[in-house]
Amino acid sequence: MSSPERLEKKVPVRSLSETAFKAVCDNLGASFKDEKASASFVCGGTIPMKSKKQIKVYWHNASSVPQARMPLELPITSSGENNPIDQLVADCEAAGFGRNKETIMDTQYRKAGKLEPSQFATTFHPGDYGILDEVSQILVRNLDAGETGLIPRRVEADLYKLNVYSGPSGLFQKHVDTPRSENQIGSLVVCLPSPFKGGNLVVRHNGSELDFPWENHSADCIQWAAFYSDCEHEIKTVSEGHRITLTYNLYAKLEVAQPHSSVLDVKSLPLYGLLKDALQTPGFMNTEELSSIGVVNQVPTGGVLGIFCAHVYPHASKGVDKLLPQYLKGADLCMYAALHSFGFKPDVLPAIVLYDKDDYGNGEVYACSYPYRRYGVEFEFNDDARVYIGTNLRPLGVMDNGGEEDYLELAKEFWQDEKKYDKPITWISTPGHPEPAMAHCSYGNEASANFIYSCATIIAEIPEWDERNIMRQLSE
């Protein structure tokens, strides 16, 4: 065989092996996506009031001298004049919403009344109805600490507001709640028994949507929903009656002393099986080369696997280094746990994605965070994208209101261009849908504090085949 012929043959074999590697990565990426789609971002329930004590709400009006009023008792048993609900509605202040750092009053966007927790007290507590246990099980999945290095967590709720959305025009358009602290994982809304029409709560995440049509059981049930902080949600127009809700901020607290009752086995996750298959494939993260006699050799290189998280995290907040990876959610938690269980030490690091080209494909440097949108054109996550990995999780005030130049400067100054790792990163997911991440800065349920949410990544160095072949779990 003459050497030019051999050279010609080399090309298809090498590209085949690259195709195989790409296929494995695509599979892993698809499994992460499935986990992302199926992992719950919201949960809810209905509790009939039949055998339950009435719920009492006591309040005073902020603008008058505090005075004892007859409590509101729900569900209301008698109808007549002097309905205490009307008094409650009259005593509520108009509720605003946050845009940038201001609280805006705009009844086209939000029409509701509110009472602060200092203005009311209630006999209702979500812990008494098993709501917090349910939320814990669904939104804070606990995996075996020994395998994952993650301490089990439980959910705590902090009463935040009482709101009334009244017919014919109460509503709250699309928004993302403003987190009140870094370890807030989400919000809980409890709809108290009081008849109303309309007022569906719709919650969205990563292209999935769940609708809570609470009107049907509004008169005689407590209905509730809990969702992660990065979910966009809205309340459709209430056409009749009063939709009275208690909202709570949800926090995940580490349960160091007591082991959690229900612990998921990391090996039961589909992602675990696929990752194991990939790692057991010699060509995964190893380079294949043809020897001069035409034999395929594995060149032990190892590599780096990168995952853009499915959820957004406050990686720019103070104390965030203590929050992650402990507070990873949904699919991110599964990916981290699976990698950890194979003995790798995944990093959780912030990343910004910049583009080096303008929208006409010219070589000029335009730096903008992902998704790069200019004049309505959205750039793909492709070869023009440059991923800058933060060296650690730390507060980053600079990004606040940063323009394009700031991003670039920031990237140059503090961030590395994949340099923390001496091998290029193979990304198996694209930067998550970041709209809610940016919305945190501009639209919220209250003028926002200094929290900036953006893409967090999970990055794991994958050793070369021989080394990982003797690792725990893989040899089992």
Ligand X SMILES: O=C(O)CCC(=O)C(=O)O
| Residues within the interface to Fe ion (CB under 5 A) | 177, 445
In whole angstroms, how close is the CB of 247 to ligand X at the nearest point?
Answer: 5
In whole angstroms, how close is the CB of 212 to ligand X at the nearest point?
Answer: 7
**Whole-number Å distance between alpha carbons of 212 and 43:** 10
- For residue 245, the partner it binds in Fe ion, ligand X, none, with Cβ less than 5 to 8 A by kind, is ligand X
CA distances from 312 to 208, 254, 371, 451 (A): 16, 20, 14, 11
In whole angstroms, how close is the CB of 107 to Fe ion at the nearest point?
Answer: 16
- For residue 201, the partner it binds in Fe ion, ligand X, none, with Cβ less than 5 to 8 A by kind, is ligand X
Q: Which is nearer to ligand X, 148 or 245 (CB)?
A: 245
In whole angstroms, how close is the CB of 464 to Fe ion at the nearest point?
Answer: 48
According to DSSP, the β-strands at 184-191 and 170-175 are: unpaired
Residues lying near ligand X in the complex (CB under 6 A) are found at 163, 172, 177, 189, 201, 233, 235, 245, 247, 445
- For residue 316, the partner it binds in Fe ion, ligand X, none, with Cβ less than 5 to 8 A by kind, is none
- For residue 218, the partner it binds in Fe ion, ligand X, none, with Cβ less than 5 to 8 A by kind, is none
**Is the bond preceding residue 259 a cis peptide, omega within 30 degrees?**
no
- For residue 184, the partner it binds in ligand X, Fe ion, none, with Cβ less than 5 to 8 A by kind, is none
- For residue 448, the partner it binds in Fe ion, ligand X, none, with Cβ less than 5 to 8 A by kind, is none
Closest residue to ligand X, judged by C-beta, is 445
In whole angstroms, how close is the CB of 160 to ligand X at the nearest point?
Answer: 8
In whole angstroms, how close is the CB of 61 to ligand X at the nearest point?
Answer: 21
**Whole-number Å distance between alpha carbons of 427 and 389:** 13
Q: Which is nearer to ligand X, 153 or 243 (CB)?
A: 243
Q: Which is nearer to Fe ion, 161 or 242 (CB)?
A: 161
**Whole-number Å distance between alpha carbons of 309 and 328:** 9
- For residue 189, the partner it binds in ligand X, Fe ion, none, with Cβ less than 5 to 8 A by kind, is ligand X
* β-strand partners of 355: 385
- For residue 166, the partner it binds in Fe ion, ligand X, none, with Cβ less than 5 to 8 A by kind, is none
In whole angstroms, how close is the CB of 400 to ligand X at the nearest point?
Answer: 23
Nearest to 34 by CA among 429, 427, 304: 429
Tokens of 66: 């505090």
Q: Which is nearer to ligand X, 176 or 312 (CB)?
A: 176
CA distances from 195 to 167, 240, 241, 246 (A): 11, 8, 6, 16
Q: Which is nearer to ligand X, 163 or 429 (CB)?
A: 163
Q: Which is nearer to Fe ion, 72 or 189 (CB)?
A: 189
Q: Which is nearer to Fe ion, 35 or 177 (CB)?
A: 177
289 exposed, middle or buried (CB, 10 Å; 0-12, 13-18, 19+)? middle
Nearest to 205 by CA among 42, 369, 442: 42
Q: Which is nearer to Fe ion, 341 or 445 (CB)?
A: 445
Nearest to 260 by CA among 345, 356, 136: 136
In whole angstroms, how close is the CB of 97 to Fe ion at the nearest point?
Answer: 8
Spatial contact of 32 and 310, defined as CB atoms under 8 Å apart: yes
